[in-house]
Structures are given as C-alpha cells and as structure tokens.
Structure 1
Amino acid sequence: MMLTGLLCGALLGFVMQRGRFCLTGGFRDMYLTKDNRMFYALLIAITIQSVGVFALIQAGLIEFSAGAFPWVATILGSFIFGIGIILAGGCATGTWYRAGEGLIGSWIALFGYMAMSATMKTGALAPINNGIKKFDAPVNSIPEMFGLSVWPFIAILAVITVIFVIRQLRKPKVAIPTMKAKRSGLNHLLFEKRWHPFFTAILVGLIALLAWPLSEATGRMSGLGITTPSANILQYLVTGDSDKFVNWGMFLVLGILIGSFIAAKGSREFRFRAPDAKTAVSSFIGGILMGFGASWAGGCSIGNGLVMTAMMTWQGWVSLAFMILGTWTASYFVYVRPRTKTKTNPSAALRTSTT
C-alpha cells in the first residue's frame, strides 16, 4: 500500500513540472509584477481539495482532527520559510520537482532543507522546535471556533475563487511562444502544449484529494506533506530504522522526483545545470531556512498552504499569509533594493553594465 505514495507523488511531480506550478514564483510575482494568477491557481486547488475531503469525512471514509493552533510557531516559522524559498529558488515541493529537471542548485537546497528538518524534528534542535509550539490556542478549526458547519466557509471560499478566476480569464490574453510541435495527439498534450495554471491547479487539487484516502489506508492520517517525509529520508539513511522513518509520505516525495524527471525528459527540458558559487550558497542557506521555518510552522507551502488551508484551519490560513509576507520581504531585498541602488548610483550601474 505504501507504493501508492510513490504513484501519488509521481503524478504530483509530473503535473507540477509540466504546469510550472511554482508557488515561490507565484508569491514573488504578486509583489513584483502584480501578477496574481498563481495565487488564484492555488485557491482553485485548495477549494477542490476542501470540497472533496470534507465530503469524504462526512461519508465516514477518512478522519481528520485539526488539534490545537501553535500560533507563535506558525507565524514565525512561516515567515522564515517564505524568506527561505526566495533564497532557495523554490518552495519545498518546487525544489523537489526542479531537482528532477537536473537543477543542481535545487539538489543543494534539498540537502539543506532535509538536514535542517531532521535536526529540528529529532536532532539537536528538537527542544527548540517543540518548546515554541507550547504557545498555542486550543482550537485550530475555524468552523469549530464559530460553532458552525464547515460548508458555509467552503462556499465562501468557492465564491471568492470563482470571482477571481473569472476576472483573470476576462483579462486580455498575451501571446506566449510555445515549443514547435513535432508530435501530435497525446504526446503533444502531455509534453509539448503549454499547460494553463488553472488547469494545472485542478489536477493538483484532485491529486491532493486522492492523497487522503491513499495515505490513511496505510495508517498515516493526513494528506500531502513534504517536510517530515523529506526529513525521514535522511533519518532513514543515517539510522537504517525503516519502522520509524519509512512510510507513505517518504514514498510520496520520492515519487515527486520521479514524476518530474519523466515530465522533464518527455518535454526535453531535462539537463544538468550547475549554479555559480553565489547561487549555490544562496540555495543552501535557503534550504536551511526552509527546513527551520517549515518545522516550526508545522508545514510548508503544501502542508500548510494547500492542505491545512483546505481543512479550514487557522494554522493553514495564517501560515499562508505569513509565508507570502516572508516571500515579499525577501523579494524586496533580493530584487527591488539592488535595482533601486543601481538607479541612484550611476557608477554602480556602469560597473554592472561592463561586467
């Protein structure tokens, strides 16, 4: 049954690679270019998963408990994670699928991410990770706090999502050059045709929904998750304890790598690309911050930003907000401020243009 994690991960990796479903770029573009398409795509995936999962819960097919809300850890961890994904050049899932494309910088970021996640969860920093989570609110579920059914909240989310999507689709379309088709039929649709972000989001939402019953069938009472499974890989390699660390989630993240590799090879986008020294250092530092922040926050852009939001928890929506805020903060220092300095310093601009 654990091999279903590999299948689910492969589907997710394939879809995210072909659809360029990058939340880091999406959050960054909201700030830099006022382009909200990827954020709207995320809302689509959240809505689809939320409707499906709560229908399964109501039917008694799966179980879910929101638990307490570790608000201090969620706020601080999500903000740090947002900074980390800009430095790393991709969020946790994005880093996995870009590693499948042959991007060496993503492998460097992954190592930092896995190492810090393992250190925070079972290593020397575990007391720090566990200590801050003692500051919590007893209720994490938003509907439970208001004493209401979850369905009005899902309906509100669905209406907001539909409004945003319709407004986006009504905007004038910009022609985007695509790869010259050398194939036809299914191969063209899978590997050559550019996927629309909203179509990709629908598939991501359905895969996220599929993950719940597949995961719970193995005793793992959760949906998609990246941080703990990533840490488990390193912990298993070091300790050899398969009973403790080998589970459905570990197969999931390995599947993302495989699915992305298949998609990149099929679309002729796979190639090994080595970063320069500065980018390599930035990727590693970003990976460290991702692992630290996601461990504190109890999830990454997928675990909190996609899954816990769909479950209508404070942890998910607060995490998403501070993740975006961290991304915008890092984007200012990485992209905006250097350009501002160059414009106000002609000699710096001259040096830049001659190097």
Structure 2
Amino acid sequence: MAMELASWVERFGTAAVLAMGGAAIGALFGFCAQRSRFCLRAAVIEFWHGKFGEKLSVWLLTFATAVVAVQGLVLLGWLDVGGARQLSNRGSLSGALVGGLLFGGGMIMTRGCASRLLVLSANGNLRALLSGLVFAVTAQAALSGSLAPLRSAISSGWTVDGGAARNVLTRMGGGPWDGLAMGIVWLAVAIFFAHRTANRVWMWLGGIGTGLAVALAWWFTYAVSQASFSAEAVQMQGLTFSGPSAEWLMRVLVNPAPAFGFDAGMLPAVFAGSFLGALVGREWKVEGFKDGYSMARYIVGAMLMGFGSMLAGGCAVGAGLTGGAIFAITSWVTLAGMFVGGGLMDRLLAEPVQTAQPPTQQAPVVVPLAP
C-alpha cells in the first residue's frame, strides 16, 4: 500500500491525494454516523440520567473501536502517532478544561455537537444548518479574529509540554499494549450494553464504522506524510470538525482560498455520506425552528461550541474520539469537560416537573331546614 500511495502522490500530487482520501473517509464517517445516530450530546444526557441506553452504547462502541484500531495500527508498525499535534506540540490544560465545559454546554443547547450538526444539516434540518454556520464563524473568530486574544489568554493559564508529558499512556508508565487492552475492555462493555438495549443492525455497523473512520484518518494522513515528496512537510492529522469548518468558511469568503488538503475533501463528503444515509433510511425531511426562543438558544449554543472547540483544540470528534484514541491528555481533559458541561446545561434547561396537587377539600354546605 505504501508503494501505491507513493505512486499516487507522484502522479496527482500530495494535496490531491489527501483530498481524495479525506473524501472517502469523510463519506464513510457521514454515512455511518447518520445510520447509527452517533451523538455525544445524547450519550451525555443518558449518562447523567443514570441510563446506559442506546445512545451511550453507540458512543462507547464508536470510541472503543477507534481506540482498538488506532492502538492496533501502532503495534503493527503502520502508524506512529508521535508526530500528531495533539502529542508533539505544547498543549493547554486550562484551554482543554474551559473549552470542554463551554462546548458541552453548547451542544446541549443546539441538540448536537459539531459533527452531528453537519449530519443533521444533510438530513434537511435547518436548525442544524444555521447552528453550523454560526459555529464556523465563531470558530474562525476564535482562531484568528476578534476572539483570538481571549482564547490565547485562557489557553496560557495552565500548559503542558509536548511529547511524553502529553501522552496519558506514557505518564502511566504504559504503552500501546495497555491502550489496546483498555480499548478491548471498553469495547466489551459497549457490546454488552448495546446487545441489551437494541438489536438494530445499523447501530452496530454504524457505530463500528464511525470508529474505524477515525482510525483510518490517522493511518491515511500518516501514510501520505511518509510517501510525500513535497518540499513542505505533510502534517499527519485525524478527523475533526472545528478547524475544517473555519477553513471552509474562509474558502467561501476569501480569495485566494486556503490550500487544498485532507479537510477540504473530508467536510463536504461527510455531508454527502449523511445525505445518502438519510435517503437509505427514508429519514430526509425539512425541519425548522418553532419559535424565537428556540432560535436564540441554538445560536448561543453554537457560539459556545465554536469558541470552546478552538479553545480546547478540537470538537467532540476531534478531541473526544481522534485525540482520545491516541491518549492525548488534553483531549481526555476536554472530553471530561464536555461531559460535565453537558450535564450541567441539561439540568439548567430541564423543565420543572409539575406535580399534581391534591384537590382542596371544601367545607360541606349546610342547608338549613325549613321550620
């Protein structure tokens, strides 16, 4: 496969090969995520309500699959995650924590994380489409716009060096075998609860396929970086939706557009894959807002997610799955923040339970007898 990639790179160029691979992996992710109804928001709600149901089972099935596949590739010598920015660069624990909390709260308000909004947009959900646009604008503002100084100030509060200090497995004195073992345990737990909660074929296939797409992104970009003859080094990367959303926004608004690469092919392919999944499941339909309050809530939630994702260095997929699968400590802190922030926002927005009041007893009416 390495020889074939090298020939493709020589024939079509590094950028084109990355874009084509991103499109294929993105289509797989979009289709599988749509059919399995993969959603961190729904999993967080089930977790805090003390219910290990279908949504939490699907998320854990996806996460465990990504961990097992990535660590397996590392052990086979087909992947070296040491050059991933989530491990090699200096990271921010304060940004990961605050960003995770903001993102978790925002995804509850918008009824979906960044990837879920893209999937729902392809299914005809106009609420998700608007929220996705607001998310992209806010992410770009946090990356290099008016919100960048605030992001930098928060991120500089508590940092961690790159390398071994950012690797959870290394800090624990372990390695890829330990990561693989943990992934297998989580996969067994996910299979156990998934078998108890539902028996949908697409829940199984979609959850596993979504996790494999995360591992394939790591493997493919690493393989291209090794096969590239470009003068500029090719950075290996995984699936994420915050950076690519901001990139596509600038691609539409700015000329010349950002350089073509993996993200440029991945994002529209996720949309296309999800659209195909909706057609297969006969689930495509146009949905809009019910009232002004609902729209305002979605917009605020999308802004929280956009800023939070750039602050944390990734979204629910970029940090929760992609970074979590390589055991980056900042990604695990972000994921924990998303669970806590989502739980708090879910409780804050919960409608009070109306308890039935017992009927008031009225004094009996005494009718005087006629004399």
TM-score, scaled to structure 2: 0.80
Give, in angstroms, the shift of residue 32 of structure 1: 3.2
The one-letter code matched in structure 2 to 1:334 is L
Instruction: Check the 8 A contact 1:74/1:315 in 2, yes or no.
Output: yes
- CA distance, structure 2, for counterparts of residue 153 and residue 203 of structure 1: 20
SS class of match (2:175): coil
- CA distance, structure 1, for counterparts of residue 281 and residue 57 of structure 2: 26
SS class of match (1:268): coil
Give, in angstroms, the shift of residue 21 of structure 1: 1.2
Give the RMSD, CA atoms, in angstroms. Answer: 2.3
Is the alpha carbon distance of 1:323 and 1:344 closer, same or farther for their aligned partners in structure 2, counting shifts above 3 Å?
farther
Rg larger in structure: 2
Residue 112 of structure 2 is matched in structure 1 by 90
The one-letter code matched in structure 2 to 1:339 is P
- CA distance, structure 2, for counterparts of residue 274 and residue 166 of structure 1: 37
Is the alpha carbon distance of 1:281 and 1:195 closer, same or farther for their aligned partners in structure 2, counting shifts above 3 Å?
farther
The one-letter code matched in structure 2 to 1:235 is M
1:260 equivalent in alignment to 2:274: yes
Instruction: Check the 8 A contact 1:220/1:248 in 2, yes or no.
Output: no
- CA distance, structure 2, for counterparts of residue 344 and residue 318 of structure 1: 42
1:113-124 to structure 2, matched below 5 A, reads 113-124=135-146
Determine what percentage of the aligned residue pairs are the same residue.
24
Residue 210 of structure 1 is matched in structure 2 by 216
1:246 equivalent in alignment to 2:260: yes
1:29 equivalent in alignment to 2:46: yes
Instruction: Check the 8 A contact 2:64/2:186 in 1, yes or no.
Output: no
Give, in angstroms, the shift of residue 81 of structure 1: 0.2
Tell me the alpha carbon deviations over residues 44-101 of structure 1, each in whole angstroms, 9 at most, x when there is no partner.
3233323332343445544323133411110110010000001111101100000000
Tell me the alpha carbon deviations over residues 177-229 of structure 1, each in whole angstroms, 9 at most, x when there is no partner.
xxxxxxxxxxxxxxxxx545343221111111111233342634111111100
Give, in angstroms, the shift of residue 137 of structure 1: 1.8
| Number of residue-to-residue matches in the alignment | 322
Instruction: Check the 8 A contact 1:301/1:320 in 2, yes or no.
Output: yes
1:324-343 to structure 2, matched below 5 A, reads 324-335=339-350, 338-340=351-353, 342-343=354-355
1:42-121 to structure 2, matched below 5 A, reads 42-65=59-82, 66-67=87-88, 68-121=90-143
Instruction: Check the 8 A contact 2:105/2:304 in 1, yes or no.
Output: yes
TM-score, scaled to structure 1: 0.83
Tell me the alpha carbon deviations over residues 271-309 of structure 1, each in whole angstroms, 9 at most, x when there is no partner.
211112222221111111110111111111101111111
The one-letter code matched in structure 2 to 1:136 is T
Instruction: Check the 8 A contact 2:68/2:184 in 1, yes or no.
Output: no
SS class of match (1:270): coil
Give, in angstroms, the shift of residue 312 of structure 1: 1.3
Give, in angstroms, the shift of residue 345 of structure 1: 9.0
Instruction: Check the 8 A contact 1:111/1:284 in 2, yes or no.
Output: no
Instruction: Check the 8 A contact 2:26/2:273 in 1, yes or no.
Output: yes
Unaligned stretches of 5+ in structure 1?
Answer: 176-193, 347-355
- CA distance, structure 2, for counterparts of residue 54 and residue 245 of structure 1: 30
The one-letter code matched in structure 2 to 1:80 is L
- CA distance, structure 2, for counterparts of residue 274 and residue 7 of structure 1: 30
